[in-house]
Amino acid sequence: GNSVTQMEGPVTLSEEAFLTINCTYTATGYPSLFWYVQYPGEGLQLLLKATKADDKGSNKGFEATYRKETTSFHLEKGSVQVSDSAVYFCALSERTTGRRALTFGSGTRLQVQP
């Protein structure tokens, strides 16, 4: 079956530090890959996505590259801000017609200190 493994948190960084959150996946087909972010008290928001190998998703300074050879989709940001403090979820979606079910990792909490 499908699975997603993320690095455990919390990750604590100072403002303007470089961020990497590791994500690896197991899937039977050729999934689409996503990063979602969950701010306190809110639902999940799509941060970025990539639909095929070597695609790079990017949004709000965050980037992730779909690496089929290493089955990875690591999230990076060059300079984090306090407002980036949240829980980040890596997810995959099999391309099955008529069905859209995401498989999520367990989440990584990011804490950015001023």
What are the beta bridge partners of residue 88? 37, 108
**Contact, 21 vs 110, CB < 8 A?**
yes
DSSP state of 84: G
Kindly write out the interface string for residues 87-106 of this chain, putting x where it contacts another protein by CB under 8 A and - elsewhere: --x-x-x-xxxxxxxxxxxx
# of chain residues touching another protein (CB under 8 A)? 28
CB of 93 to another protein, least distance (A): 6
Q: Which of 28, 42, 70, 114 touches another protein (CB under 8 A)?
A: 42
Let me know: does 88 contact 37? Beta carbons within 8 Å.
Answer: yes
Rounded to a whole number of angstroms, the distance between the first and last alpha carbons of the chain is: 41
CA atoms of 105 and 114, how far apart (whole Å): 28
Q: Rule CB under 8 A: is residue 112 a binding residue for another protein?
A: no
Pick the closer one to another protein by CB: 70 or 99. Answer: 99
Residues that bind another protein (CB under 8 A): 4, 32, 34, 36, 41-46, 49, 51, 89, 91, 93, 95-107
